[in-house]
Each structure stands twice: as C-alpha cells, then as structure tokens.
Amino acid sequence: MKKNKFKKLSVFALTTALSVSCLAGCGKKEETTETTTEQTVVTTEATATMSDSSDIEFVPTKEGYVINELSGEWIDESLENQRPLCIMINNIVDAMPQSGISQADITYEMLVEGGITRYMCVFKDYSNLTKLGPVRSARHYYVQTANMLDGIYAHVGWSVYAESWIKNTGTNNLNGLYDSTTFYRDESRVAPHNCYTNSEKLKEGIAAAGYSTEYTGEKPKAFAFNYEETAIGNGQTANKVTTAYNSSTTRWYEYNADEKLYYRFQYGDKQIDDQTNEQLRYKNLIVEFVQYSDLGGGLQDINWEKSGTGYYITDGEYEAITWRKDNGIVKFYTADGKQLKMNPGKTFITVFDENQQDQIIFE
C-alpha cells in the first residue's frame, strides 16, 4: 500500500500516529491525531502493520466536510449522500458556447448518430447553476452510465432504445418533452439548441417527480482518488492530447504546467463556458476504448460487458489502464490490477471506438 503524505500534518503528528499504531498492534484503527491550522482542523486515522511501517495510510477528515466521491475534493457534509445529477448536453457547433458545464465533476463524451458526440455532465452539487445547457435527448448507453452512478437523469426527448430502457428500469428521469417545470427555451437561440435549465428548476422538477435526492442504498464507488496530488512518474509525456473522433470534430487538450490542468479545444478553437467566459479545463482525462455498434439508422450501442483498455492522463503524463464492470459499475484499473486512483479535481472521460485507437495522439 502506498504511503500518502499530507502537507497539513506536522512532523510531530506523523511521529505520534506511527508510535500509537505500532503499540496497538497489526491492522487496527488508531486514535486520531489532530493538527490545527489557522483555517481548518485535519484529522487522520492511521492503519499499519508491525512488519512494515511504510504500510501506514492516513485517511484525512475535515470538520464539516466530506470527500466528494466524484472528484476527490472536499464538499460540505450536507451533500455527503446526495445523488448526482446527470444531464445530456448538446455538443455540435450550433450549440456553442455551452452554459454551466464547467461546473461538472465528471463529463462523459460519447458518440451518437452521424459521427457527432454529446456530453453527459455529472454534478454532485447542482445548487449554483444559473444556466445549464443546451439540453438534448437521451441515448440508452448514457442512461446506463447514469444508473451506474445512481444519478437522476435529465434530458429532452429520447431515442426508442433510451425510452425503453428508462421505462423498463424505472430510471429517475426529467424529460423536457413532458416536463415544463424543469426546462425552458432561450428564444435568443435557434431550436433545438435552445433548451436550458437551472438549479431552481431542477430542484422543483425533482420534487414534483417525487424522486429521492439521497442514495437509498450503498453509495456507488465508480472512482477512487489519491488523498493528495500524485504524479504518474513514468515519463510518458502528455503535454497535448488529441482525441479525433473524425476529421470534422477533432478535440484536443493542452497542458498548462503552471496550473497542472488540461485546457480543452474543439472545432478549431478554445471551448468556452459562457457563464464564466473561461475555457474548459480538467485535472484528469480518461480515454476509455469501447465496442460501438450500429443498431440501425445510425443509432449506436456500447458493449459495457466486454471490458477494455484506455489511458489515464494527469499532470503532463499518461499511463495505460483497463476497465471492466464490477458489481454492475464500470471501474478503471492500473497495470497492477488495482483500482485507478485519480488526482482530486474534475475529470473528462472520452468514450472512444476501440477500432480507432490510433486517433488518440500524445505529444
């Protein structure tokens, strides 16, 4: 087990935790050690083995806060059991610039018909969205992904396969075809690229539908995170990452070494969120190679049962990973077979055709 170091722990606190652990015996959780700063109190629990003190792992806590299971970052403890919102976002050139999507913890990009893509933006906290969209119609493999996260799924319309999946599984969904509470049209933009929502309307829609806003069972653990930033350290450079679904919709990311974030580009320009007027940027990128198949009429399917390979990109480097379903949830794994631990921050997941892996380019 890798030892994590915490910047807010003093040498005294680290030594004390080690001493208490060694006296108490193997594998037991120890008394907590507190370190006070001017702003916060960070508490850790140490678990160790007698044979190797390097096996100690410190699990931080922060009074009034919990770790967001979608980003690895601190959030208010009142949000601990809140189910995420998973919303379909238009991603063709006529929909640019999009609104509010920079606040998503996780963004999935997948193919739809015609070689274009759509997003599913996932928000743990959706209380501060002044404008979100444009919202578009459901596809069943997005619904399946939302169900893996136990999310509330928001969309406007659906394919025949998505409609069937939602109805047969009882997916908690907000559909703008029938729901005038949750969505509105922005008449300054051309339909169908003008459907939007916001925090107030989302909360009203969820309440009107009678959906639980909290997990009713065990919280899904689709992602794992380092407690502090950890470099891959393998020397495989990723200062620019190109994800070319096709020649007309090439996307790429450029690494900002000062901020340690990846800035996103598409359609030949910076991709901007018009609510912040800032470029989209991410701490983590994942490329997930899947088997797409055509169901007819250009409608796509994804085989989530097959498992596959991919890449994890962070801090200017990349590494090969694998993915598979585990207890019904897609999870990512490193070469040693352990679940991938990402750095805390926002993540963009590109779900890419396994037959076009040469279109993923690292520079």
Calpha distance 184→190 (Å, rounded) = 13
Token pair 């928000």 is found at 123
For residue 284, the one-letter residue type is N
- Name every residue whose Cβ is closer than 8 Å to that of residue 273 and which is 6 or more positions away in sequence: 97, 98, 99, 100, 101, 102, 280
Cis peptide before 192 (omega within 30 of 0): yes
Tell me if residue 125 falls in helix, strand or coil.
Answer: coil
Q: Which alpha helices (DSSP H) does the chain contain, by range?
A: 11-24, 140-148, 160-169, 199-209
Instruction: Give, to the nearest 10 degrees, the angle between helix 160-169 and helix 140-148.
Output: 30
Calpha distance 363→135 (Å, rounded) = 33
Instruction: Give me the pLDDT at residue 75, please.
Output: 97
The Cα-based distances of 258 to 162, 261, 262, 278, 282 in angstroms read: 42, 8, 11, 17, 13
In this structure, what token pair is assigned to residue 195?
A: 């459907």
Tell me if residue 305 falls in helix, strand or coil.
Answer: coil
Instruction: Give me the pLDDT at residue 11, please.
Output: 33
Token pair 């976002």 is found at 89
CB contact burial 10-41 (16+ within 10 A = b; e otherwise): eeebbebbbebbbeeeeeeebeebebeeeeee
Cis peptide before 344 (omega within 30 of 0): no
Instruction: Give me the pLDDT at residue 28, please.
Output: 39
List of domains in the chain: 11-63 (no CATH), 83-363 (3.50.90.10)
Nearest to 135 by CA among 97, 81, 192, 54: 192
In this structure, what token pair is assigned to residue 229?
A: 């930033």
**pLDDT per residue rounded down to tens, the chain (363 residues):** 333 433 333 333 333 333 333 333 444 333 333 344 444 555 555 444 333 444 566 778 999 999 999 999 999 999 999 999 999 999 999 999 999 999 999 999 999 999 999 999 999 999 999 999 999 999 999 999 999 999 999 999 999 999 999 999 999 999 999 988 999 999 999 999 999 999 999 999 999 999 999 998 999 999 999 999 999 999 999 999 999 998 777 899 999 999 999 999 999 999 999 999 999 999 999 999 999 999 999 999 999 999 999 999 999 999 999 999 999 999 999 999 999 999 999 999 999 999 999 999 999
- Exposed, middle or buried, 336 (CB in 10 Å: 0-12/13-18/19+)? exposed
